[in-house]
Amino acid sequence: MPYPLENKGVLTVVLERFQKHRLPRIMHIKGLVDDGATLNNMEIRFLSRVLSDTQQYAHFVSTHKEFQNLFSHVTSLYDEITRKALDNEKKGQEKSQFH
């Protein structure tokens, strides 16, 4: 169930949690896949949770234009990370076929 983001206190907590906890972890995971790593189960669960929460906020964002850039950035990061991780997984499978 989405948080009632219309409540300024809830909105502040959600944004602070994102800035202090989720975004640093997202960027860490992005760095790992940029370096050729694949995603482990914990990272996949974390990213799935972030995406699920982000999707729950879509209606709020559609009526509060000031959050559209942040919303787009998070969904783009998710897409970028998962595409790169899948690419890394495919490369790893190709290497194992030849060794």
Q: What is the pLDDT, as a whole number, of residue 97?
A: 65
Q: Where are the domains of the chain?
A: 65-99
Q: What is the pLDDT of residues 79-95, one digit of tens each?
A: 999 999 999 999 888 77
* % of the chain with per-residue pLDDT over 90: 54
Structure tokens at 28: 């860490």
pLDDT digits (tens, 9 = 90+) for 49-59: 998 988 888 88
Q: Residue 3: pLDDT band by 50, 70, 90 thresholds?
A: low
Binned at pLDDT 50, 70 and 90, residue 2 comes out as low
